[in-house]
Amino acid sequence: MSTKRRTARVAPARERIGPIVARLTARYPEARCSLGFGSPLELLVATILSAQCTDERVNMVTPTLFRRYPTARDYADANPEALADIIRTTGFFRNKTKALIGMGQALCERHGGAVPRSMAELTAVPGVGRKTANVVLGNAFGIDEGVVVDTHVKRLTHRLGLTRQTDPVKIERDLMAVVPRSQWTLFPHLMIHHGRAICQARKPKCEICPVNDLCPVPGGRTT
């Protein structure tokens, strides 16, 4: 496929999104949450730890953490120093320690130790913002409530001309308007896989990109 900068107008985002999702799904059939978890609580904890940290690093820490703190009550009653020592390598460990203890206390006090299944209830839990809530709702409960916007999603959706916004909240709003709701959870995983494998920040591999002809800025120029 040609990598020359395209000057002709491309189809609107609503018309391109179907083929984009279909092609990337075919290219990355393994696309899913890269955080290891076995329950909604474990995913909530892992997502809190993933702030300013790679999923790979989080996955190195969580097996030990999950064994020692299997319930919300365990986090609520955790010794801060002992907990901090386990999660130290994820960065910002003191703030994350406070968030995990506060999370455990909130779940025990308000939800009987269970992870709630609504955006409003989740975002009221310490350490949980909309992005974290979207991760948990979509991947632990199969509830498509919103679209996770991380650095890959922000960068690729700009290149693909799906949004011109820079604020994550506004980017998510634009994506929710064009991406079918049933694909809100899958879409960020596709963007992350594609951003790592082909549409890289410094040197995108446009010549092998499966959506090159659907991209208004081949060659990596951002909007």
Catalytic residue among 74, 131, 144, 154: 131
DSSP structure string for 129-184 = -HHHHHHHHHHHS---------HHHHHHHHHTTS----SHHHHHHHHHHHS-GGGT
Neighbours of 178 (CB within 10 A): 18
Q: Are 70 and 110 in contact (CB under 8 A)?
A: no
Neighbours of 18 (CB within 10 A): 14
Based on the residue annotation, tell me whether 144 is a catalytic residue of this protein: no
What would the two tokens of residue 164 be? 């011109």
Based on the residue annotation, tell me whether 98 is a catalytic residue of this protein: no
Catalytic residue among 55, 98, 150, 174: 150
What would the two tokens of residue 51 be? 């702030």
Catalytic residues, by residue number, are 131, 150
